[in-house]
Amino acid sequence: MWNLAETAGKPLASFSPGQRVRITGYQGGRMLRARLMALGLNLGQEVEIIQNFRGQVIVGVNGGRVALGRGVSQKVLSEPLG
């Protein structure tokens, strides 16, 4: 089992629109992880930041878009690509 709380990375909310990132971990409980995985935000998944303004962060994943609240996007750790 992974120790997801100590995985390196920056919160998803800290990236600018247009950037592509890879999800490296989560800072949350079992239910948060299950919810994110159901949305397609799995470990190792590459996503594009579409919008990061005010309260929500919108990411492009698997040809669709997912809107995350500010609190949740702070708990998704990721690293920039390229």
Domain 15-80, architecture per CATH: Roll (2.30)
Residue 4: per-residue pLDDT: 46
Residue 28: per-residue pLDDT: 87
Q: What are phi and psi of 14, to 5 degrees?
A: -90, 0
The residues spanned by each domain of the chain are: 15-80
CB within 8 Å of 16: residues ≥ 6 apart: 49, 52
Residue in the block written with tokens 């935000």:
41
Euclidean distance between CA atoms 58 and 13, whole angstroms: 10
Say if residues 29 and 37 touch (Cβ distance below 8 Å): no
DSSP 8-state symbol, 81: -
Q: Whole-model pTM?
A: 0.85
State pLDDT tens for residues 30-45.
999 999 999 999 999 9
Residue 7: per-residue pLDDT: 57
State pLDDT tens for residues 53-74.
888 999 999 999 999 999 999 9
